[in-house]
Each structure stands twice: as structure tokens, then as C-alpha cells.
Chain A
């Protein structure tokens, strides 16, 4: 028996090690060298340390901000993000929004796509290297919608390193509204629209939207839930425990324990009851709080206040506003995406009035600006 185990170990380790190919190693034209050593000073260490603190604080105060952390560290957040816009999919530097690579997707059949050109939905593991894309196309002949699922991976230079299609079997029937992948890439959730009822003025979603979770690799649906709510399920996001799944349906923000028994979403826990429709939500990796985008119009005013509120998941209490601003104009302010990275320290946000931006603590960095201040916001999806 020991021999059999030893043989299996050797076989598995060899196969695992072979996944690292010489050509995928980072190119180096020089052997790594040690960093230069600092000269020893004569001052004792505690005084040196105190001086160092004074110098750093003084510089930070003069400069008004700290130096940016090295790219790719946990402090700087994910390295890259994937965007889908009018010009297709692109991998971008997560610090400045610059395109590092354009992604050419396999051609999809002709048909009607919802939302962005291409009918894309995006999700990422929150680490800036692995992304999943769903593409829904409704056939003009049969009016049946098919959704294909792809996995994309960016290498350390932000170039497309992998594009795998059919990571799960295509979904045929109704459109997929939202997708979310766990931080470790092992579970994919997606929501399917309910059927559309009525026509003209009575056109609406009827009960029957579904939420599906599949385990990867493999892709066989693990669990499915339905809802009687008249609306679709959107803005899916996972907590890091791979168990709690947050989403929005009608005007409610809910969290579902995907390990609990039940086949309907009535078992999900409602965190916020009166969220504005079509807003964006995101559960924190630790699952304790949830961000909900909101907007309000003070009476008599022309401007709208928009904010991202943080709510406690267990009791739904609003903890604080982590972002707020004002918008004047006739268009209703609306958040289109709010996404945590895998550490929960960095946020990606966008609204129809807020260009794609990242929030790192108190710092907000706009990643993609409109061409002119008055130009309308480009319709854009982004994940990291």
C-alpha cells in the first residue's frame, strides 16, 4: 500500500510541477543580486528610529499624501482589472487605468445582446489576475438566449495569458443578469432572468428568476434557488467564506447562505429593504458588512446626493457613508458597480455620474475619465 501511495505522490507532483513551463517564467537578463547594504551610522538605533519617524511624517505633511506603495503589494491592491466597454474587453493597469492588453473574444453568433455591445458580464477573483466573462446573445430566429462562460487570466505584465471558453456549459433559455466568482475561483454564481410578461405598458419581469451556484472545475450546477419576486436578481457578490452570497432583487439587498437548505430565496436574509432599484451592492470579504449604492434628491433642490452606505449584515443597521457627492442635472444618479478586491481594502466604483474610480481608504483615484467634462459617462463594466 505504501508503494502505491508513493507512486501516486510522485505522479501527482510531477504533473503539478510540469504546469510551470520554462517559457512562462519571468524573463530576467541578469541573475538576481543582493540589495546594497546601508552604511552603519554612529547614532544608536532608538535615536535613528525616532529621527526616521520625524522625517517621514514631515515629508508626508509637506507633500500632502504618502508615496504610492509598490505595485502588486497588498497595500496597492490588485495589479490589473478587466473592463468591457464600447471598444470591447481590455486588461488595464489597476493604478492608472491604462490599457495593457486588448482581449479578442471568440466570435459570438449574431443576435441581440443586452446592455453593453457584446452582451458581456464580468466578475473577478479580486486579485487582478483571474476573470470570468459571461456573454449572452439572443437568437433573432428563435428568440432564445444563450450565455457562454469564459475564463481569462492576465500575466504579471498585464497581458492576456489564458482565454478558456466553456468553463461551464452554456446556459440556454433566458438571459443571465449577473455573475460572481469566489476569491479562490472555486465557485461561480449566476442569476437568470425570470420570463418577461405582458407587453407595451405592462411589459415586466414575472416571478421565476433563478440563482445558480456551480463548483469549479466541473461546472455542474450545485444549487439552484428561485424567487417569486417580480424582478431579476443582480449585483451578485461573494464573501470570502464561499458560502454567503449577496445580491439585490427588486428594492431589497439580501444575503443568502448557500449552504443552508431550501430552494427559494425566501430563506435569504434581507439586509436593506428600501434600496433604490438598479443600484449596486457588494458584500465585504469578511461577510460582516455590505455596501449599497444610493441616491436621494433633497426636496426643492436640483442636485442629488449620491453615496455608498455601509450596512451591518446581521442587523441591517447603517454604519456609515464611505463615499458621497452631489450631482446636478435631470438624470437620476445611479451606481453601476461597487466591487471589493479580495482583501476588502480597495474598492472599484462607477456610476452614471462617477467615472470608474478606485477607493483606497480616503484616497479616490479616477481610472478612466470621460474625454471632456461634459461628455456622458461611457457605459463600462469593470472587475478586479
Chain B
């Protein structure tokens, strides 16, 4: 009787796959929530995050620092949110649809308290950059340096952007009291 063919050892998953899978499990929800705060609807936020992980997987071999993937992912997600906003602006401009795109849908707003809705209404009126900066600083609680890294701007610009945003928010929210 012939010897049975040798059993091959189980193939190891490439290290990139393992690392990305761990990241996905640990951070997907947080990144979707982060994107949700910027684009206002969950489905779009999930799409952006899916694309971000796919992009990391695609670039795995070229990424310099595999231990700094979370900040990189945040940057990719932020860029995805910016692309969504650009598409919405183009749609308004070119298709003549004059409408405000709400930061939140009415049904989502209904689930928030009145003071929280006021805050979101005020945040909606900030510029795109100011909005991003306050979400990174006060939702993700990133330092100025980390916020600068995600946004691709200098630390000084983060400081001045956040300061202007807070001043604008204070005027808006204090006048509603």
C-alpha cells in the first residue's frame, strides 16, 4: 500500500491580513461613528469606512509604519467624508437642487435631546475644516498634534481653527439661551 501523501502544514495568513482583521474588529464601530458625525448618515459612513480598510489592505506593503495604522485609517476616513461633501456640493450646484443637506436626518434628530440638537445645528454652520477639527478634538479627544496629523495641517492651524470654531459656537449657542 502506498504511503498517504504528506500533509502540508496549514497556510499562514499573511501578517497584513491578521493585523487588518484585528484593526477591523477593534476599530470599525468607532470609525463608523466618527464618519457618521461628519456625513450625517450611517449608510454613507459605513461605505467610507469599508473603503478605508480596503485601501489599507491595498497599500499594506507600501505603508511605512504598520504600528500607526489607526491614525492612517482616520485620515483615509476623513478624506472619504470630504469626498462625500464635495459630491453633495456638486450635486447642488450642477443639478440645480437647491436644498440644505441636513447634518442629520429628521428622524435622527428626534432621538437627540434639544440641547444636543442645538449643538449640532451650530456645528453644521461651521466651515468644513472647523467642523472636522472639533469632531477630532472633542469626539475622538485627539491632541492638537494628532489632530494635525489626521487633517494634514500644522499644529498651529489646528489651534487657530479650533479657537475660531469655539468662538463661533459660543456666539451661536449663547444667543439661544
A residues contacting B by CB (< 8 A) are 1-2, 5-6, 8-20, 22, 24-26, 28, 31-35, 129-130, 151, 153, 156, 162, 164, 183-186, 216-217, 240-242, 285-288, 343-344
For residue B138, which residues in chain A have a CB less than 8 angstroms away from its CB? Answer: 6, 9-10, 13
Is there contact, CB below 8 Å, between B95 and A31?
Answer: no
Is there contact, CB below 8 Å, between B57 and A19?
Answer: no
Assess A19 versus B111: contact at CB under 8 Å? Given A31-B53, A32-B54, A184-B100. yes
B residues contacting A by CB (< 8 A) are 17, 20-21, 24, 28-29, 32-34, 36-37, 42-43, 45-46, 50-51, 53-55, 57-59, 91, 95-102, 104-113, 115-116, 119-120, 123, 134-135, 138-139, 166, 169-170, 173-174
For the complex formed, measure the closest distance between the CB of A87 and the CB atoms of chain B, giving whole angstroms: 26
Please indicate which of the listed interface residues A31, A156, A241, A286 has the most CB atoms of chain B within 10 Å of its own CB.
Answer: A31
Is there contact, CB below 8 Å, between A184 and B105?
Answer: yes
Is there contact, CB below 8 Å, between A17 and B106?
Answer: no
Is there contact, CB below 8 Å, between A8 and B57?
Answer: no
How far, in whole Å, are A186 and B105 apart by their CA atoms in the complex?
Answer: 8
Apart from A2-B166, A20-B45, A32-B57: 8 A-B pairs, beta carbons within 8 A: A5-B173, A9-B139, A13-B135, A16-B108, A130-B105, A162-B107, A217-B106, A286-B96
Q: Which residue on A lies nearest to B40, using beta carbons?
A: A16
Please indicate which of the listed interface residues B17, B34, B107, B173 has the most CB atoms of chain A within 10 Å of its own CB.
Answer: B107
For residue A216, which residues in chain B have a CB less than 8 angstroms away from its CB? Answer: 106, 110
Is there contact, CB below 8 Å, between A286 and B170?
Answer: no
Is there contact, CB below 8 Å, between A240 and B99?
Answer: yes
Is there contact, CB below 8 Å, between B170 and A19?
Answer: no
How far, in whole Å, are A49 and B122 apart by their CA atoms in the complex?
Answer: 47
Is there contact, CB below 8 Å, between B54 and A35?
Answer: yes
For residue A130, which residues in chain B have a CB less than 8 angstroms away from its CB? Answer: 105, 107
Tally of A-B Cβ pairs under 8 angstroms: 138
For the complex formed, measure the closest distance between the CB of A344 and the CB atoms of chain B, giving whole angstroms: 7
Is there contact, CB below 8 Å, between B105 and A285?
Answer: no
How far, in whole Å, are A8 and B102 apart by their CA atoms in the complex?
Answer: 20
Q: Which residue on B lies nearest to A13, using beta carbons?
A: B139
For residue A34, which residues in chain B have a CB less than 8 angstroms away from its CB? Answer: 54-55, 57-59
Query: Chain A interface mostly helix, strand, loop or mixed?
Result: loop
Query: Chain B interface mostly helix, strand, loop or mixed?
Result: helix
Is there contact, CB below 8 Å, between B170 and A1?
Answer: yes
Assess A1 versus B174: contact at CB under 8 Å? Given A25-B46, A32-B53, A216-B110. yes
Is there contact, CB below 8 Å, between B105 and A185?
Answer: yes
Is there contact, CB below 8 Å, between B100 and A32?
Answer: no
For the complex formed, measure the closest distance between the CB of B95 and the CB atoms of chain A, giving whole angstroms: 7
The residue from A6, A11, A153 contacting B166, defined by CB atoms under 8 A apart: A6
How far, in whole Å, are A16 and B108 apart by their CA atoms in the complex?
Answer: 9
For residue B120, which residues in chain A have a CB less than 8 angstroms away from its CB? Answer: 12, 16
The residue from A1, A5, A25, A186 contacting B106, defined by CB atoms under 8 A apart: A186
Is there contact, CB below 8 Å, between A344 and B97?
Answer: yes
Assess A184 versus B102: contact at CB under 8 Å? Given A6-B138, A16-B116, A31-B57. yes
Is there contact, CB below 8 Å, between A5 and B54?
Answer: no
For residue B170, which residues in chain A have a CB less than 8 angstroms away from its CB? Answer: 1-2, 5
For the complex formed, measure the closest distance between the CB of B14 and the CB atoms of chain A, giving whole angstroms: 11
